[in-house]
Structure 1
Amino acid sequence: MLTPGEVKLSDGRSVDFANLDIAATAPCLRVVADTVAELLPYYGSVHRGAGALSERCTREYEQARETVADVLGHGPGDTVIFTRNTTDAFNLLARAVPADTTVVTFDAEHHANLLPWRDTIRLAAPRSPEEAVEALDSCLYRRQNPNALVSVTAASNVTGEVWPVERLAEVAHRHGARIAVDAAQLAPHAPGRLAGLGADYIAFSGHKLYAPFGAGVLAGRADWLDAAEPYLAGGGASAHVADDGTTRWATGPARHEAGTPNLIGAVALATALRTLHHRDLAATEQALLHRLRTGLAALPHVEELRLFPAAAERVGIVSFTVPGRDPGELATTLGRDHGIGVRAGLFCAHPLTRRLLSEATTRLTGTPETTGAAGCEPGADQAIRASFGIGTTEGHIDRLLAALR
């Protein structure tokens, strides 16, 4: 893991930086940095040359695609497209969804999976995994349009709660619908589960997967993607351009990967995914998660944000509120005086976070709080999020709890 090491505090002391903002962007794995450094001297064009550099880079790029497909368990009828990130992946998929398709999602989603869709049924955020399954089953049973795509998160970037994607996929398929999964937060914590989700489409980002080199993935069934207009018009996406401008577009991943591809990002992402796929991260992470949640619960003026019951399955993400304290100022103080990196905000999931903030404040004070339509600027209508992963220690968790006390 590449880390900054020690950072200076406001009083002049130096401490090991406690990076508890990994859900936003994860640091780079050492193996990823080494792989990139080894490839850089051979950097050349992909799919567009016959020399030694181009041949090697083309091979590395397509091997990265094969690695992703292998980890996801995808077969001949599927495709892997390299994108910029999860947001880019969902916007691509939204362009490819047939015009007569209704998209069903929940208002607990990250904006990447909330905003790109056209014809949408947005279900209320459920109070439990079981309620999510029941709500989707009822919605698909009553829908008027026979063509539907369900799009849902695998793990919340606000609460860390793991959604029952496998069961939601069963419901979707039973009703003849497809399902797309936002795996941006599940992939870094449990990459071994991606192949078993039952998803028709899956999207995630390299920068959350310890490979911060500007690549993401949209992977899944090829038919819609092959039938759609290219996401970007340009070289690589075009198989033939006639003198009169008539264009025959490529099929397969090339159709949506116009221009010079992000070779370094794709190789970095595949390296990280392969590395994490062979590591058991669960035991250490769950121990840290228990330590943090137990410590927060013991603080009298701190309330954790949660949608599902307290015992529901989670990854290493915890958001909380401290009523009466400005979240932006609190996050700044944690960084300046304690060497702790956290995030203050609504986490690009505004409807969910505002709802959970109101509920948490009610639990603490007994008085409902009216929350406004805040943006990402600092203010009371925000929460604090602590998120962790590889490199997080018990000492980092204890320092946060001590600072809050």
Structure 2
Amino acid sequence: MTAISPATIRAQFPGVGDWHYLDSAATAQKPQAVIDAVARGYGETYATVHRGVYDRSAAMTRAYEAARERVAAFIGGQPNEIVFTRGATEAINLVAATWGREHIGKGDAIIVSRLDHHSNIVPWQMLAGEVGAEIRVASITDEGRVDLDSVRDLIDDRVKLVALPQVSNVTGAVLDARAVADMAHDVGAKLLLDACQAAPRLPIDVAALGCDFYAISGHKMYGPTGIGALWARADILDAMPPYQGGGSMIDRVSFEEGTTFAPAPTRFEAGTPHIVGAVGLHAACDWIDGIGRDAIHAHEAELVAATREGLAKHNDVTIYGPADSAGIVSFNVRDIHAHDVATILDDAGVAVRAGHHCCQPLMDHWGVPATVRASFAAHSDMADVEALLEGLNKVKRIFG
């Protein structure tokens, strides 16, 4: 594994410069390679896909489908198992609206956790309310991991789906997905993983993970906004009904004979897709693997350790999450609201997230309205950590 050169990588991000950007868990800055791919996609190579018979349309169709192949390779799947979506949120909603309505009914149960993002809670609440299913909530450990013993206690033959984050967007805790997959499959349930925070930094093999559904979001992994993907096992995807109706997703439309649908994954991509988004996501996958996900994870682990060590020197700072978190550190300063901390840090040139991070049940569990979250990326360096810690000293001076 080659060590990362932060200065070399940082130079590839025109949006970063000397700014201490520590909000990559919300959205990642874009390397020039992705920006260039998007510019070309909207410029000299732009055309529609799957429709035109002229050369440029055919070339763009090949580029769009090449992006599907690249995303499949990125996570260890096959191209016919990849559905392009607007992001992980739409991917999860797609599963709820199609597979969920087909397979989850009155008296069935869905397991989520108190660690989950709202995007992996609300769709299941909506489905459960519609069909009369039960939501079971797995507890978390003191260090901010999904409690596997709690999951084990909640699983029985009424459970049809377990939906959990592979990496928490608040604590950075990494899930033992294989263990959960085995638990779920033992009772005939399926496992969905929210992989928004895992995809930019962890090597991924969906077969080894044992999951059935896998949701990623392009803008978290240095790609464009408005593009993401759902991976599902081919046999599951083939049996799922369409999500939306429109162009592209059909085989034939007839008033007399009714409409027949295209095979998966095309039947889930109604209308003109986010063509250039897919091209940009392809470039993002190439860029990440050019650095190496093992190298990115190791680099971010060093920054997490340094940040936690610096924060631990303050006896009025509470740090959330495990020591081996993947690229994320959340904390609070006693008697100072997270928003005030973030505002003063911004004045010091440090961008962090402050709020509930779309994880209100987790905040309720901790009894706090919000936390400060610093999240790292391949371009982050020790100067970012030092600026954060110096900014924290400024926060404490201002508030006495």
TM value normalised by structure 1: 0.85
Deviation at 1:211, TM superposition (A): 0.5
> Could you say if the C-alpha distance between residues 84 and 98 of structure 1 is closer, same or farther in structure 2, counting changes exceeding 3 Å?
closer
Residue equivalent to 2:41: 39
> Could you say if the C-alpha distance between residues 325 and 165 of structure 1 is closer, same or farther in structure 2, counting changes exceeding 3 Å?
same
Q: After superposition, give the CA deviation of every residue in 1:368-388 in whole Å (9 maximum; x if it has no partner).
A: xxx5xxxxxxxxx21111111
Whether 1:397 aligns to 2:385 is yes
Q: After superposition, give the CA deviation of every residue in 1:355-396 in whole Å (9 maximum; x if it has no partner).
A: 23x3xxxxxxxxxxxx5xxxxxxxxx2111111112111011
Residue equivalent to 2:361: 351
Q: After superposition, give the CA deviation of every residue in 1:184-231 in whole Å (9 maximum; x if it has no partner).
A: 001111144555322111001000000024200101123443333321
How far apart are the structure 1 equivalents of 2:355 and 2:144? 25
Question: Is the contact between residue 95 and residue 228 of structure 1 (CA under 8 Å) also seen in structure 2?
Answer: no
3-state secondary structure, aligned to 2:122: coil
3-state secondary structure, aligned to 1:28: coil
Residue type of the alignment partner of 1:263: I
Residue equivalent to 1:334: 345
Whether 1:133 aligns to 2:155 is no
Deviation at 1:123, TM superposition (A): 2.2
Residue equivalent to 1:305: 320
How far apart are the structure 2 equivalents of 1:191 and 1:32? 20
Residue equivalent to 2:214: 202
Residue equivalent to 1:110: 117
Residue type of the alignment partner of 2:41: L
Deviation at 1:150, TM superposition (A): 1.2
Q: After superposition, give the CA deviation of every residue in 1:117-158 in whole Å (9 maximum; x if it has no partner).
A: 123432232217997332223322x34x3x612111100000
How far apart are the structure 2 equivalents of 1:192 and 1:230? 27
> Could you say if the C-alpha distance between residues 252 and 320 of structure 1 is closer, same or farther in structure 2, counting changes exceeding 3 Å?
same
Gaps of 5+ in 1: 7-15, 359-370, 372-380
After superposition, where does 1:165-180 map in structure 2 within 5 Å?
165-180=177-192
TM value normalised by structure 2: 0.86
How far apart are the structure 2 equivalents of 1:333 and 1:75? 47
Whether 1:283 aligns to 2:317 is no
How far apart are the structure 2 equivalents of 1:281 and 1:347? 23
Residue equivalent to 1:73: 76
RMSD: 2.1
Residue equivalent to 1:150: 162
Question: Is the contact between residue 71 and residue 195 of structure 1 (CA under 8 Å) also seen in structure 2?
Answer: no
Residue type of the alignment partner of 1:389: A
Q: After superposition, give the CA deviation of every residue in 1:72-93 in whole Å (9 maximum; x if it has no partner).
A: 22248x6100000111110001
Deviation at 1:103, TM superposition (A): 2.2
3-state secondary structure, aligned to 1:97: helix
How far apart are the structure 1 equivalents of 2:301 and 2:329? 12
Number of residue-to-residue matches in the alignment? 365
Percent identity reads 37
Question: Is the contact between residue 76 and residue 204 of structure 2 (CA under 8 Å) also seen in structure 1?
Answer: no
Question: Is the contact between residue 21 and residue 387 of structure 1 (CA under 8 Å) also seen in structure 2?
Answer: yes
Question: Is the contact between residue 191 and residue 273 of structure 1 (CA under 8 Å) also seen in structure 2?
Answer: no
> Could you say if the C-alpha distance between residues 223 and 192 of structure 1 is closer, same or farther in structure 2, counting changes exceeding 3 Å?
closer
How far apart are the structure 2 equivalents of 1:120 and 1:110? 18
How far apart are the structure 1 equivalents of 2:63 and 2:188? 37
Question: Is the contact between residue 138 and residue 147 of structure 2 (CA under 8 Å) also seen in structure 1?
Answer: no
Whether 1:322 aligns to 2:328 is no
Bigger CA drift: 32-41 or 180-189?
Answer: 32-41
Residue type of the alignment partner of 1:349: C
3-state secondary structure, aligned to 1:47: coil
> Could you say if the C-alpha distance between residues 130 and 32 of structure 1 is closer, same or farther in structure 2, counting changes exceeding 3 Å?
closer
> Could you say if the C-alpha distance between residues 251 and 138 of structure 1 is closer, same or farther in structure 2, counting changes exceeding 3 Å?
same
How far apart are the structure 2 equivalents of 1:193 and 1:225? 18
3-state secondary structure, aligned to 1:260: coil
How far apart are the structure 2 equivalents of 1:126 and 1:245? 53
Question: Is the contact between residue 25 and residue 212 of structure 1 (CA under 8 Å) also seen in structure 2?
Answer: no
Residue equivalent to 1:211: 223
Q: After superposition, give the CA deviation of every residue in 1:224-262 in whole Å (9 maximum; x if it has no partner).
A: 433333212111112111134821122211111111011
Deviation at 1:54, TM superposition (A): 0.7
3-state secondary structure, aligned to 2:53: coil
